[in-house]
Structure 1
Amino acid sequence: MVFHAPYPVGGESTSGSGIRPVRMLQGFHDAGFDVIQVTGYAAERKAAIADLAARLKRGDRVDFAYGESSTMPTVLTETHHLPTHPFLDASLARLLGRHGVPRSQFYRDIYWRYPEYTERVHPVVAAGTRTLYHGELRAFRRLLDRVYVPSREIAGHIPHVRAEQMVPLPPGGVIHDVPRSILTSGERATAPLTLLYVGNISSYYRMHALFTAVQRVDGVRLILCTPADSWEAQRGTYPDLGDSIEVVHERGEGLNPLFARADICSIVVEPSEYRDFAAPVKLYEYIGHGKPVLATAGTLAGRTVAAESFGWEVDYDADALAGRLAHLRDAREEVEDTTERVRTGRHRHTWVARSRFVAEDLAGLDRR
């Protein structure tokens, strides 16, 4: 199979957009595929396309092609962000099409269609990049057999691409078997219920209602693991932490002891229109660690958790949250039963499972 990305793939990224290409590439390897990479900057991709063309010419078979998009228009992914190779990646799609190879691309998101985008970039720049985004999607309509999207809900917001081209491909997770604390019934009655949130905190990731609820309910603790600079920028809006909220700045292997301490992981953040269809990578990271999830009702994360019985969705309201936390504090068997469901079902949501799904889906489109 061919794996395409208009940038180098590798390294240790902590963002969802950086994690996904690395994990999907590894997922294809782990699923047993012989992977031909067409990744890197333009010069590297051009050389890889030439090598691929030679292999196809001499009769080598490629089962399918899968691509990962950038957060910026593909033609701007050089380090100087100038469109110096505007037709390079389209030439790859045409080459594959001539040889009957099913072609697919994962399309990350459509934040560029929302007003917040013009708040982050200059309006003149936004006008130019939006033109490029639209052009890229028109090319997808012509050149691709399948466009994978984070969720079914986002499909209706993506212009130009045909509905039948789009298929949901949410993020995946990696299975981690962290130690579990086994409590006796007596210990369970007195031990605090511990929530864990791992990720950014900002004006976009607002958790004030959760903080208020945790502070109200005796016997509940929250561990907030967030980058130090993010916390410094926001700590003034969370003035009274009390003894029930612990702020840490771990990453990598340093997260394992936090997951071991956690009974439940949290994606309780203030809802927004974008979260109606956004599929957060952290949801599947939590599932991979075998932890049940508390998520905001009305968001895609909340609906996913409820549909899989992997946790609970709750209104983003301090009173509603306090009530749910008090219930879970006193219903430890319910928490443990939900934990067991997550641990039993998490293999369905790994990156390897996502890679195998792509292979099976595209095999159905192969007309050779």
Structure 2
Amino acid sequence: MSIQRELIETLQLNLIKHKVILLFGARQTGKTTLLKKLLTSDDDVLWLNGDESDVRLMLQNQTSAGLRAFIGAKKTVIIDEAQRIEDIGLTIKLIHDNYPEIKIIATGSSAFELKNKTNEPLTGRKLEFKLFQFSTKELVNHHGLLNENRLLQHRMIFGYYPDIVNNLGDETELLKNLADSYLFKDILMLDGIKKPEKLIKLLQALAFQVGSQVSYNEIGTLVGLDSKTIEKYVDLLEQSFVIFKLNSFSRNLRNELKFSRKIYFYDNGIRNAVINNFSPLAIRQDTGMLWENYLVSERMKRNHYDKNYCNSFFWRTKAQQEVDYLEEKNGKLFAYEFKWNSKKNAKITKTFTSNYPEAEINIITPENYLDFVL
């Protein structure tokens, strides 16, 4: 099933610029598939995979003349998983500076590693883009709003990885395999991961705290690591597109939490695979968590692809009054409360509305969520 990706038009427009394109995103989100649609002439494209040892050797310690001979007459070079190649930033710089007619696209499933290896050599020479799992908008565009709306509960459990979306009926097995090969193998190879069993416990702890204030000290006690190590692991997981942070909002009111954070998973399916729970919503105790994670992650995709530049937060006081999600754009505040059960009376706490009377208030339920994520 061929589903049009939103990012393809952006890449088409930027491919003609004299810049190296860096495409970031988790493994299995469709980076290679997207690029094969973008570049249809195999005769003009040299495809390289940084996971292959001979490719890594060929691209290390090369001269510009050696690189020219290796590339031959190809007009475009694509390097998948480029972060696995030593000194890849310098190699790309040599190609770009000596052979400006050659287009270069490098992909990476670890922003931490690839940025570290390319930031200095490619200063002023690169454009960066992110590809996420499928978005609600991409699937609505593919098979219609009605069909996608009917699959809402399914998406909240199994998520939006392309392989999961394209193989109805095999979601549980595929997600377990994906989590095992991606989370528990690839990420454990990252620099600084010295205790893999602790990383797994950390992911499970974060999965059970979606939508809640996260304390590195408390999680460290639970997992058996100090808070500095927890912070480092969280940063690595974020750079690998497994989780992302949302910080607390404060205008220095005395009772507001000022240095707190919530942590979400980029994909609900991976979150559920971490805790091995694919039960239907009707018998789950964490439906509210799944609803909030789904909405925040889909909103993040929406804002990124639409270039809706805003600051995102949550709000909470020491007395545990809270607003699930805030956006600040052009000096204006937008407050959102997420409710799965739309029959229950929902409203934003008066403490917030009295202190921020100018904020626009929104309650997001299954009846109106499409306006929030499309």
Which protein has greater RCO, CA pairs closer than 8 Å, 6+ apart?
Answer: 1
TM-score (norm 2): 0.33
How high is the TM-score relative to the length of structure 1?
A: 0.33
